[in-house]
Amino acid sequence: MQNKNYPKEILSIIRSNSAPAELREKLLNYHENDLADALTALTPEERQKLYPILGIEYVAEIFSYFDDAEPYLKELPSKEAAKVISNMDSDDAVDALDDLEEEDKRKIVSHLDEDSAEDVRMLLSYDEDEIGSSMTTNYICIRKGMTIRQAMKELVRQAGENDNISILYVVDESGRFYGAIDLKDLIIARSEDSLEKLIVRSYPYVTDHEKISACIDQIVDYAERSLPVLNSDKELIGIITASDVVELVDNELGDDYAKLGGLTGEEDLNEGVWDSVRKRFPWLIALLFLGMLVSSVVGMFESVVAVLPIVICFQSLVLDMAGNVGTQSLAVTIRVLMDENLTGTKKLRLLFKEMRVGLINGALLAVLTLVSLGIYIHFFKGYDWGQAFLLSGCVGISLIVAMIISSLVGTVIPIFFHKIHIDPAVASGPLITTVNDLVAVVTYYGLAMIFLIDVFHLA
């Protein structure tokens, strides 16, 4: 972005000793996000001087752009901080409050104005993974039965306080959701038209207790500037804006990504070492103990290795390939499972498809392995051609078997966890690795024992 220098410009304007009115005028020409960036570079005293000049509403908007509002809220007396929070969009207010420690949060909430306190309490009453926790109460709401002129007047009145004006929400006499009007349609309508005609009655909506992960795909599909959130009585209680959707998608996908990478949550550069340790350790310890299980199974084949040590050369090859195929299937399955409407037939189809992909990839790789390993063993390990191809054939067959089973395991395990309502992205990784290792080890050493040693007496 070319405009990285905006925060720098802002800094020099703030430090230019302009008269307050002029300063304010100049600063209003910047985006709140750039102002937030600039504010972080000021001293606390400079910030304190600036706030009254900007005015509480503008300060509140800027505060909603802080990644972590805590240090800036703590600089203010609780009453002032409460005023800032009261002027924020309700979801931003809750985000900012969540940055604080319990004690500070309680203090500020006690000073919130009545409306904001109610909104904040409502949003905090939802679980983090429910739609209700991410909605905002800043929207334009009109009663059905108005004329176009009345609706326009109401819009102008409410627009002063509410940012999200692209869609006007219509409720009936008892506050139940009645429909939505595209602001564009209202603007181009003639004042003698009927408002009722502009209302889209069967407008899509989400309900407050819906799980975000369960409906995020559909929300994205609607590609709307906002969607209404209804409670179980079909009353309109908030909206989800497009910016909220960006955040939700970012969180959902970022979470899946982190879990696939073996982290329990997303990390960033500024995270402390111990936080990172805490996020990564659970997965590692699960793997350690499951790995010991694999070790004891490998131990059963000690006798094979004792008489035919060359087989250990290719253990890591078979295990790595099985592991990778399993991860590929897992990655695909987790994304597919995000669609809550997946039927049993579709899951079976996925399973069958993964198996075929595993078979095809396994067969292709097996042929490659047979040829190249055979040549390698003959020339570098001094076995004759027949023995070399017996060995490489054993690796090749293990690869096919291990890859088919790994594809299956990488699909079945996440489907199973999903079924019993355990997050498949977290639980599947270590289990799949272990099962795949076990399958690969048993297949590989089993084949070596039976074919190479018992049948062909290669030892």
Kindly identify the residues of this chain, within the stretch 239-268, that bind a copy of itself according to CB under 8 A. Answer: 241-243, 245-247, 249-250, 253-254, 256-258, 260-263, 266-268
Q: Does the footprint of a copy of itself cover residue 417 (CB under 8 A)?
A: no
SS3 of 168, please?
A: strand
Closest to a copy of itself by CB, 81 vs 358, is 358
- Contacts of a copy of itself in 173-202 (CB under 8 A): 179, 183-184, 187-188, 199-202
- Contacts of a copy of itself in 81-100 (CB under 8 A): none
Q: Does the footprint of a copy of itself cover residue 57 (CB under 8 A)?
A: no
Q: Does the footprint of a copy of itself cover residue 225 (CB under 8 A)?
A: yes
Q: Does the footprint of a copy of itself cover residue 235 (CB under 8 A)?
A: no
For 250, the enclosing helix (H) or strand (E) is: helix 242-260
Nearest Cα residue to 142 out of 179, 114, 115: 179
Closest to a copy of itself by CB, 117 vs 313, is 313
User: What are the backbone angles phi and psi of residue 233, rounded to the nearest 5°?
Assistant: -90, 10
Q: Does the footprint of a copy of itself cover residue 141 (CB under 8 A)?
A: no
**Helices in 87-176 by DSSP H: which ranges?**
90-99, 102-111, 114-124, 148-159
Closest to a copy of itself by CB, 134 vs 328, is 328
Nearest Cα residue to 145 out of 158, 154, 156: 154
CB of 77 to a copy of itself, least distance (A): 28
Distance CA 269, CA 73 (A): 23
Binds a copy of itself (CB under 8 A): choice among 60, 357, 388, 397: 357
Q: How many residues bind a copy of itself (CB under 8 A)?
A: 133
Distance CA 413, CA 424 (A): 8
For 12, the token pair is 């020099």
Q: Does the footprint of a copy of itself cover residue 446 (CB under 8 A)?
A: no
Tell me the chain's radius of gyration from C-alpha atoms. 31
Q: Does the footprint of a copy of itself cover residue 382 (CB under 8 A)?
A: no
Expressed in angstroms, the distance from the first to the final Cα of the chain is 66
Other beta carbons within 10 angstroms of residue 9's beta carbon come to: 15
Binds a copy of itself (CB under 8 A): choice among 79, 121, 356, 419: 356
CB of 100 to a copy of itself, least distance (A): 21
Q: Does the footprint of a copy of itself cover residue 360 (CB under 8 A)?
A: yes
Q: Does the footprint of a copy of itself cover residue 383 (CB under 8 A)?
A: no
- Contacts of a copy of itself in 267-326 (CB under 8 A): 267-269, 273-274, 276-277, 280-281, 283-285, 287-289, 291-292, 294-296, 298-299, 301-303, 305-306, 309-310, 312-317, 319-321, 323-325
Q: Does the footprint of a copy of itself cover residue 349 (CB under 8 A)?
A: yes
CB of 437 to a copy of itself, least distance (A): 6
Identify each DSSP E strand in 233-357 by its residue range: 236-241
User: What are the backbone angles phi and psi of residue 246, rounded to the nearest 5°?
Assistant: -55, -45
Q: Which residue has the tokens 């960036």?
A: 37
Nearest Cα residue to 363 out of 334, 333, 400: 400
- Contacts of a copy of itself in 423-442 (CB under 8 A): 433, 437, 441
Q: What is the side-by-side strand order in the sheet with 140-143? A: 140-143, 167-171, 177-182
Closest to a copy of itself by CB, 127 vs 250, is 250
Nearest Cα residue to 328 out of 261, 410, 405: 410
